[in-house]
Structure 1
Amino acid sequence: MAQRFSRRGVLLATGGAVVAGALVSPGTAAAAYSSVGTYGTMLNGDPADVYHPDTSSAHQPWPVVLLLQGANVGRANYAGFARKVASYGFVVVVPDHTRVIFGVPGLYADGAAATWTVAWATAENARTGSPLKGRLDAGTLLLTGHSFGGAAGLGLSTGLSTPPFTDVPVPAPAQLKAAAFYGTNNAVPGSPVIPPVANTIPVALIQGAADGVGTPANGLGTYTVLQGVPKLYVSVTGANHYGITDAQNPAGARPDPSPQTLDQATGVEVVARWAALWLRAQLGDPVGRAWVYGVGDAVDTTVQTQFVR
């Protein structure tokens, strides 16, 4: 196990990273698919959008990524992020889930959606007329999430999600392999203590350095108490709480009082790239590992990272 903080100067000197005896250059970390399709579906009764690589490609089957939305952030706000993640060779499912929390109705992700997504992938892989029939790796589930949805995902990363992030406690499905969350922490409001997270899968926390809702202090604090490894922390310079969405302060969501200085489209691309390559790395992809554990921090000047593996 090795811990690493930013080593930008060292890696710029080498211009790449060695993985399995081969030099991997920054250019090889580009998205695999230039064309991404989308269609609508239902996930356990919830409307959902599906983003997928060009189905004419021979590179299949594709793992499934579930995106758990932030509180009152509609699924359409994640189109750019989901499309970019899909371009790295994933099928991304983005549902809208409506329920009541503490007496207030709204769009609140439910950790139970992980189990629902496994069932959906199995059915969709066999469904006549599905654009993805026979093209899904239904045995592999990955998570992304934003804010409240990321907290729901952190509950699943421990093996069990509990209220308010599920209506009733639910276990993580066996198919769950890794997760990457944005603007996410498990800090208890009003308490200086952040409880440990005994995660059972690899987890990445991607954090906007200008986040005024899920603060960098709470994000880094949560990373510090993550008990399982591998784990990754990515700080995105100039990004705030809505660096993952297509536009700032989506209608209905809690606005971030801290302004974002990073261009919105650039921020979305950066967050999606690190999320996708982290997930690829945890599935054994050498390019993903080279980016996450080597060259990525050197060439991506918008981020600083640290990790344990």
Structure 2
Amino acid sequence: MRLRGLVTAALFGSLLTGVTAGLSAPASADTGVAHYSSQIKNDGTDVYYPAAATGELPVALMLQGAQVHRMHYARYAQEIASHGFIVVVPNHKRLLFFDNDYYASQSQPAEAISWMGAENANASSPLKGRIDTDTLVLLGHSFGGATGLSVAESTCVTPFCTSLTYTMPSQVKAGSFFGTNNKLPGIGVFPEVDNLVPVQLVQGTADGVALPADAETTYGKIKDDPRQIVRLSGANHYGITDAQNPAGADPDANAQTISQTQSIETAARWAARFLKAALGDAAAANYVWSTGDASDPLVTVTGAQ
């Protein structure tokens, strides 16, 4: 096993695994989403946004899974953006113990907020004047989702926090995290999640890396409403990446029983509507809290408003 695989397995268990601005052609003809490259602090970043949308748009920051390059989230980011978000997907590379690779950090929301202000004022940006600089929501996968849970608690948690203290920026309004739990490796303890913002877990029932039972226990530890867990039938740990077992990341031995297209679209739809509901969208709230579970055969949902 490679050194980083040893580090991943030994230290973090199921928590892990997980430029110049220039407008390009739409990233997806089906979704009407455009894409360009930017940079958030030192991180090369992909930016996706609904090309035809008007007015200011909220930003969704994607916190990548451990060792997963940002390019593997393109389809998921497009789907989220099609619901009315600007989605930013940075490649956050840092040294974690002895491994220099892609590992999300609690510093990223503040860095994204700084980017939002600068980009909104940038005359050469396709998003000039179109960013709601007061609103940031979080997306996360595996290690990135666990990072997002720590942000939502406004608590400095190792190994996600790279400073001595941490305060969640006031612009952070909600988070949705896929294949995520907060199980402490080695001792099997699940700390309480004293969240300050609404939190949703989206969990594949076939996940062989971040186990479904651990997501259920984590959901039970989330203290404050609104909170929700969406169980996505047949999806595994890489249900939101463009392809299974992306290069560089530790693989999931469990196969999906649904298509990648189904798992990406379903996970993105539930995440986007939960986040929109948290921002006050009545139609999205009706879907995630009332009608969506019964109308979607791929999911079962538990939640509390």
- Whether TM-score is above 0.5 comes out as yes
Q: How does 1:164-183 map to 2 (within 5 A)?
A: 164-168=159-163, 169-183=165-179
- Answer yes or no: is 1:269 the counterpart of 2:258: no
Quote how far apart the aligned CAs of 1:191 are: 2.6
Given candidates 89, 94, 109, the residue that maps to 2:104 is 109
CA deviation profile, 1:148-207 (whole Å, cap 9, x unmatched): 000000000001233311221432111000000000000012334311110110000000
Distance in 1 separating the partners of 2:110 and 2:53: 28
Distance in 1 separating the partners of 2:273 and 2:205: 20
Given candidates 201, 208, 223, the residue that maps to 1:205 is 201
CA contact (8 A) 2:139 2:148 kept: yes
CA deviation profile, 1:205-228 (whole Å, cap 9, x unmatched): 000001000000110100000011
Distance in 2 separating the partners of 1:35 and 1:193: 44
Equivalence for 1:40:
37
1:146 partner amino acid: H
2:265 partner amino acid: E
Given candidates 67, 72, 80, the residue that maps to 2:67 is 72
Distance in 1 separating the partners of 2:35 and 2:188: 43
CA contact (8 A) 1:152 1:161 kept: no
Quote how far apart the aligned CAs of 1:34 are: 3.5
Distance in 1 separating the partners of 2:122 and 2:188: 50
* Structure 1 stretches of 4+ moved >6 Å: none
- Answer yes or no: is 1:234 the counterpart of 2:248: no
In structure 2, runs of 5+ residues without a counterpart are 1-29
- Answer yes or no: is 1:195 the counterpart of 2:191: yes
Distance in 2 separating the partners of 1:255 and 1:34: 29
Q: Quickly say closer, same or farther: Cα 1:86–1:173, change in 2 above 3 A.
A: same
Per the alignment, in what secondary structure is the counterpart of residue 278 of structure 1? Answer: helix
2:49 partner amino acid: H
**Greater relative contact order structure (CA < 8 Å, 6+ sep):** 1
Quote how far apart the aligned CAs of 1:289 are: 0.5
TM-align CA RMSD: 1.1
- Answer yes or no: is 1:125 the counterpart of 2:120: yes
Equivalence for 1:247:
243
Given candidates 220, 240, 259, the residue that maps to 1:224 is 220
- The percent of aligned pairs where both chains have the same amino acid is 46
Equivalence for 1:285:
281
Per the alignment, in what secondary structure is the counterpart of residue 272 of structure 2? Answer: helix
CA deviation profile, 1:250-293 (whole Å, cap 9, x unmatched): 11101001111110111000000000000000111011111101
* TM-score, normalisation: structure 1: 0.87
- Answer yes or no: is 1:52 the counterpart of 2:49: yes
- Answer yes or no: is 1:140 the counterpart of 2:135: yes
